[in-house]
Amino acid sequence: MSGGQRLAGRHVLLTGAGGGIGLAVAEACIAEGAVCSIVDIAPTRPEPVAALLERHAGRAAYIAADITAPGAIDRMLADASAAFGPVHCLFNNAAVFDLAPLLEADEASFDRLFSVNVKGFFFVMQAVLRQMVEQGTSGASIINMASQAGRRGEALVSHYCATKAAVISYTQSAALAMAPHGIRVNAIAPGVVDTPMWAHVDSLFAKAEGLPIGEKKKRVGEAVPLGRMGTPSDIAGAAVFLASDEARYITAQCLNVDGGNVMS
């Protein structure tokens, strides 16, 4: 992605950014002039993050945080503010995935997915929005990570689909609540994206559907109308757009970035 200044002078806070989509969005935001607080659950910075910090010295900081732990969100936001000042944009990306046949889906999986994907997601958004309102942050925006799974149910993925549907609903509610403050709230719904997480997803589908390892990934890529899985950079371009002034009249929307899987 070519560099520019669409996000010059802005501080972007990214959760779930130790690799994959989150890290690609951080890289793209830095290329557009932003400084980034990169948050992930790992207690020490993952190697891909360390490499980014070396490439962009002084432009990014790593913050370890488990967004489901008591007090963690407030500490995360305090550390981010200490590093780079008020947050102008939140890329709300931290999430976990699991699947099971509906009649076997258990309470432990339900609790884990809703704890991270809904409760953690919501209270991160709330904390950042509260700071934005209190400080009158100019050009503020929130980008929540939904999924094509939030657009429709899937037989093996009921809990995850429900969590991502909640992300879309909360995005709409927050956008309406924040409109009087000039803060935009949008979401991105990726389709199937080729990230390291897909090895885990593929193995779960292989077990549930009796497939060879790698077959599910092959099939879902071939089924995309554009003929391939997405890449983290496909999502990064959409995120930079929504964070920038080019999207200044866009709020309460969920942008499908899925190669044509879902039409709306």
Q: Active-site residues: which are they?
A: 160
Q: Give the list of residues 6+ apart from residue 108 with CB closer than 8 angstroms, or none.
A: none
Asked if 29 and 59 count as a contact pair (C-beta separation under 8 A), the reply is no
Asked if 209 and 165 count as a contact pair (C-beta separation under 8 A), the reply is no
- Report, in angstroms and rounded to the nearest whole number, the Rg of the chain calculated over CA atoms: 18
Closest alpha carbon to 142 in 131, 157, 134: 131
Distance CA 209, CA 73 (A): 38
Asked if 260 and 221 count as a contact pair (C-beta separation under 8 A), the reply is no
End-to-end Cα spacing for the chain: 27
Amino acid code (one letter) for 14: L
Q: Give the list of residues 6+ apart from residue 35 with CB closer than 8 angstroms, or none.
A: 10, 11, 12, 59, 60, 83, 84
